[in-house]
Structure 1
Amino acid sequence: MSKTADLLEEIAALKAMLIAADARDQRKDERIARLEKLVAAFKQAIFGRKSEKSDPDQFELALEDLETAMAVIHAEEDAEDRVANRPAKPRAANRGSLPKHLPRIEEVIEPDSMTCACGGCLHCIGEDISERLDIVPAQFRVIVTRRPKYACRSCTDGVTQASAPARLIPGGMPTEATVAHVLVSKYADHLPLYRQAQIYSRQGVDLDRSTLADWVGRAAFELRPVYDALMADLKLSTKLFMDETRAPVLDPGARKTKTGYFWALARDDRPWGGASPPGVVFTYAPGRGGQHAERILQGFGGILQVDGYAGYNRLIATDRIGPGIQLAYCWAHARRKLIEITRTGPAPIAEEGVALIRDLYAIEAEIRGRAPITRLAVQQDRCAPILDRLDDWLAHHRARASAKSPLGEALTYIAKYREGLGRFLTDGRVEIDNNSVERTIRPIALNRKNALFAGHDAGAENWAVIASLIETCKMNGVEPHAWLSATLTAIVQGHKQSQIHYLLPWSYAVTV
């Protein structure tokens, strides 16, 4: 009877093992199916037709969610491996890198006993080292400034005391570093002031939004001379980029929003090895008319690379701006019109044009960073024949396509700006597109999606001042908070106006 009972127990145990195995297999199959769906969605997001993708920011969010979902499945597998004492599966992953400048806090984990099983003493023969990134949440601290008062015991000549240090906010509580943090959070990380106030409140620091706004306004006022110096420096260049983008602004009188525009004037000479540091200046204007570009560019004379907006034409139709402005146009905009046609179905003519422009971009990628004379020689030798073929393609199909069709409109656009599109064949400094300036205005588009851009024209003008300096920091590899903190401190301590150029971000990059 005992043997029968033992046998029944073993059978029950085997059944339980089989059921558990079946459950594991079922979970494994479910995970495989989930992974397959996620991988398919991931491939579609990356390699699918661009017409099926959302805007770039939403696209990044979609990838984040897909990668997070995959990580959950991998975590489930790793947890089962730990329970079953199976070795973890190696996974290819970009784990990032830890910069050398970050402080290291070392911890040494010793064995429970330093005595060998044989009774001898253990000695160190090596070690394994691993590094993990740790974060301490933003910590507020209070700087207490004491100014002792001294008096003489032998006379009554008065009291001696050190002068109070200058402050950005007279009688206020923030240090210049605190104000810099507020500026970076608002203008670089797109965190409105009321949300910053909520974050501070969780740390027990109660600050009204209006108080933070006062700090920002005073900082914008003090930084205005640096902004003006940046604008003046850029307009001394012989080649600049320009672009504009809309910015919804509240119209208090009408109780609705109106459409203002930010005009970006940028310099980036790195593709042709120029010595001038990169920079960008934003200027707010209530409209998009060419007169705003004319006002911004007063005193500039050189090559201006732009898109096909007709408002720029007045820059070369008058001599009121500066001597000899030449317009260079953007092949990215021309290509974009053709690509849009290819998305709607078979379009061999448009695809042929896209292929020719792609060949131009391939050559541009090869010569990026070389000297202008080298670039020009290559462009004239290799790009000129491609442009000749493109001209033949343009003339042939333009005569046959309806002017009102999407293809006809794209061909008309290229023909209209063909002279400026070919400007890079006459000057090695000219690039094939104006993507340099388009990258600088991406933060504007991001902020525009998050919320109403500005509550007033004056607020938009302040945005232009601070964002110009922050984006110029980024272009020069300068950490914006460090630069703002140091610059505001220098201004408060009486930095001379005649030496304001020493406060520009690229000068800070040299001194640190």
Structure 2
Amino acid sequence: MRNVARVSRLAQEKDPEVLHRAIELLENHNRALTAKIKELLAELAKARGDSTYQQLRLAALEKQLAKLTKQVFGPSSEQRTTDGAPADGSSEGEGKKEKKKKTGHGPTEQPKLPVVDVEHKLDDADKTCPKCGGDLKEMAGKYEDHEEIDVLPLRFVLKRHRRQKYSCRCGGCIETAPGPDKLCPGGRYSIAFAIHVAISKYCDHMPLERQVRMMARDGLVVTSQTLWDQIEQLAWLVESVMPRLRAFVLEHSVVGADETTWELFGKKPGQSKSWFVWVLRVEHGVYYAIRGGRSFKTAESLLMSFAGVLMCDGYAAYQSLSRAYPRVVLAHCWAHVRREFVEIEKSFPKPCGEILDLIGKLYLIERRCPQGPEGDEERRMLRDQESRPVIDEIIEWVYRTTPKCLPESGLHKAIGYMVNMWPGLVLFLDDPEIPLDNNGTERAARAPVIGRKNHYGSHSLRGTEVAATFYSLVESAKLNGLEPRFYLRVATRAGLRRETVPLPHEVKAMLAAGKLDPNDFEDHTEGIVRAALAAARAAATADQGDAAHLTGC
């Protein structure tokens, strides 16, 4: 009766702070009861005097071995053999019969490639008709066309900028034509060259030493220090945009968060051994910060101004952040939960198959939900009418399966992970802006992960700042459908002119409104090189003609 009275008083309570504290107390009480049940089950298994406890430990070790073997030798995909089954319930064989056998595919359209027309003509010896011996005449405008994709080798050129001087008859004024913009006064390398180096490292993940060797094969002798100097000079011009990018990301009501390791060489005394890339992502922007820790303090420094839903995993720093700042509400990822059961499916095929099929239903419903803010109401309706009953089925599965689990087993741990994350897992039912998983943020984390594998991290603290800047700008440009090279040209020009560096989504909006002309940012080096080569060929032909004339004389 006392508990009933407490629940009645709690139902009448209106103060949000009191309710929040009551929920925390109830959650802590439930965790304590769960731990006590787990402890009692383990003691019961030992007290039986049979081999249950030993079998349990053996099953746990076998699961750990299977997980490590899969990590080393198995495929990285989490797709199951049943994931490809038709959604309408038809059998796999029926689905195959309906599919038509592929006979190949046509050429892929290449709308972005420039078209170069190359004419092929007959030699004079072949301009004779094989039947009558007459001369073959050209058919005006008649060609037999076919296309091929070719490659022009990368070419580095030494531009000599000849700035014309002007003077007045009075001798009181001498004027010189302005030259191109430079990263720094007197710099020898162009802005386009610096952007090429930055894109190669932070978009294509090529270490500077590898770029040095590639450039040497194309005739350019340069050092990795010189390449780094160009990247750093470029970063000085564009990194003023980083606080604005962070503010843009954190002003959203739902933000995805993740973190991954990063290596820092040449650490100074007092610096942490382990460094981490923190990723904060929304639909049209992603912010990277490389910090010397993964603690609550680091999460607080990045997210203390945020108010909304943080989509994340179960890492304790996020939970501490939410307790310290109640305005930060944690939503959790169904892909992480699914991953727990996929890893142990071979050991527990029947229960894991059941829960994975239920989670699959949630994803099938999400596929039918419209994307974007304009589809919020329809998404809310679908989740309320179809996803909510699936959640009820998952709850029923947990109550039915948990009593059959041995403590410390892989299945028991997977269920425990899901139960601990439950308040954040079901948050998507009441908010159409919350995604079902955090896969978008995990995809955004791939760029620094690949870069870390290729060039191992950063050599200095300044290197971490530069890496975070370029990863943020390059990946945000991709999210907005912009070519990263083009965006960096726009950002660099704004930095040189001491203007506000635009964010990628702002550049996208300017292009859509016709306020930005891409042709203004094109590099005309190709035309200059073509003209120089044509002039060189003409000079060589003239020299050959003069030599032939002299020989004839």
- Deviation digits for residues 370-405 of structure 1 (CA, Å, limit 9, x no counterpart): 601100100111111110010011122223323421
Match of 2:360 among 355, 358, 373: 358
Q: For residues 502 and 350 of structure 1, do their structure 2 counterparts lie closer, same or farther at Cα, with a shift above 3 Å needed?
A: closer
Structure 1 residues 297 and 253 mapped into 2: Cα distance closer, same or farther (>3 Å)? closer
Instruction: Give the Å deviation of 1:436.
Output: 0.6
User: Structure 1 residues 113 and 358, CA, compared in 2 at 3 Å: closer, same or farther?
Assistant: same
Among candidates 345, 348, 351, match of residue 350 of structure 2: 348
Q: Which residue of 2 aligns with 1:314?
A: 320
For the residue of structure 1 that corresponds to 2:404, the secondary structure is coil
Of 101-110 and 233-242, deviating more is: 101-110
Q: C-alpha deviations, 1:221-255, integer Å up to 9, x for none?
A: 21111222211111111111111111122244579
Note if contact 1:176-1:489 (Cα within 8 Å) is conserved in structure 2: no
Shift of 1:145: 2.2
Q: Shift in Å at residue 317 of structure 1?
A: 0.9
Deviations 1:288-317 (A, max 9, x none): 112222211232211211112121112321
**Distance change (3 Å), C-alpha of 1:110 and 1:148:** closer
Distance of 2:245 and 2:340 partners within structure 1: 35
Identify the range of structure 1 (372-381 vs 156-165) with the bigger mean alpha-carbon deviation: 156-165
- Matches of 2:424 and 2:401, distance apart in 1: 21
Unaligned runs of 5+ in 2: 1-69, 78-101, 519-553
- Residue matched to 2:249: 234
- The amino acid that maps onto 1:117 is K
Q: Does 1:295 pair with 2:301?
A: yes
- Residue by residue over 1:303-352, the C-alpha shift from the partner in whole angstroms, topping out at 9 and shown as x without a partner, is 21111212111232123xxx732211100000000000014x45211111
Q: 1:327 aligns with which of 326, 330, 338?
A: 330
Alignment match, 1:106: 117
Q: Cα distance, 1:191 vs. partner?
A: 0.9
Distance, in Å, in 2 between the alignment partners of 1:137 and 1:258 is 43
Q: 1:163 to 1:102 in 2, by over 3 A?
A: closer
Question: What residue is the counterpart of 1:149 in the other structure?
Answer: 165
Quickly say closer, same or farther: Cα 1:96–1:312, change in 2 above 3 A: farther
Deviation of 1:132 after TM superposition, in Å, equals: 1.0
Displacement of 1:453 after TM fit?
1.3
Give the 3 Å change call, closer, same or farther, for CA 208–109 of structure 1 in structure 2: closer
Seen in structure 2, the aligned counterparts of structure 1 residues 136 and 165 have a Cα distance that, compared at 3 Å, is: closer
- Partner SS for 1:388: helix
CA distance in 2, matches of 1:304, 1:255: 31
- Per-residue CA deviation, residues 59-98 of structure 1 (Å, 9 max, x unaligned), is xxxxxxxxxxxxxxxxxxxxxxxxxxxxxxxx95557524
SS at the partner of 2:277? strand
Match for residue 131 of structure 2 among 109, 117, 134: 117
Distance in 2 (CA, whole Å) between partners of 1:257 and 1:55 is: 31
C-alpha change, 1:412 and 1:169, in structure 2 (3 Å) is: same
Gaps of 5+ in 1: 1-48, 57-90, 269-277
Task: Identify the residue that residue 200 of structure 1 maps to in structure 2.
Answer: 215
2:382 to 378, 382, 404: 378
Counterpart Cα distance in 1 of 2:328 and 2:272: 35
Deviation, structure 1 residue 127? 5.3
For 1:258, what is the secondary structure of its paired residue?
coil
Shift, 1:509, TM fit: 4.9
**Do the aligned residues in 2 keep the contact of 1:304 with 1:325 (CA within 8 Å)?**
yes
Give how far 1:418 is off.
0.8
298 and 143 in structure 1: CA distance in 2 versus 1, 3 angstrom threshold: farther
Equivalent position amino acid for 2:314 in 1: G
Residue 448 of structure 1: how far off its partner (Å): 2.4
- 1:59 maps to none
The equivalent of 1:264 in structure 2 is 279
Provide the C-alpha distance between the structure 2 equivalents of 1:472 and 1:215, rounded to a whole number of angstroms: 22
How many angstroms apart in 2 are the aligned matches of 1:169 and 1:340?
54
SS of 2:263 mapped into structure 1:
strand
- Paired letter, 2:146: S
Instruction: Tell me the secondary structure at the aligned position of residue 340 of structure 2.
Output: helix
Report the aligned-residue RMSD.
2.9
1:212 to 2:233 alignment: no
Partner amino acid for 2:464?
A: A
- Which digits, 9 at most, give the CA deviation of each residue in 1:104-153, with x for residues without a partner? 12234456447473678785897543211111011112333223333333
Partner of 2:310: 304
CA–CA separation in structure 2 for the residues paired with 1:128 and 1:150:
53
Counterpart of 2:464 in structure 1 is: 460
Residues 376, 424 of structure 1: 8 Å contact kept: no
Report the residue type matching 1:130 in the other structure.
H
Contact 2:477 2:504 in 1 (8 A): no
Distance 1:234 1:436 in 2: 14
Displacement, 1:503?
A: 8.5
Q: How does 1:6-45 map to 2 (within 5 A)?
A: none
Q: 1:50 to 1:224 in 2, by over 3 A?
A: closer
Q: CA deviation at 1:504?
A: 4.8
1:334–1:413 contact (8 Å) kept in structure 2? yes
Instruction: Please give the alpha-carbon distance, in whole angstroms, between the structure 2 residues aligned to 1:126 and 1:158.
Output: 59
Q: Which residue in 1 is equivalent to 2:492? A: 488
Residue in 2 that maps onto 1:12:
none
Structure 1, residues 467-499: CA drift from partner, whole Å, max 9, x if none?
11001111111111122123212321x1423x7
Contact 1:469 1:505 in 2 (8 A): no
Instruction: Tell me which amino acid in the other structure corresponds to 1:148.
Output: Q
Confirm or deny: 8 A CA contact 2:286 2:475 kept in the other structure: yes
Superposed CA deviations along residues 3-32 of structure 1, whole A, max 9, x for unmatched, are xxxxxxxxxxxxxxxxxxxxxxxxxxxxxx
Which residue in 2 is equivalent to 1:337? 340
What SS does structure 1 have at the residue aligned with 2:310?
strand
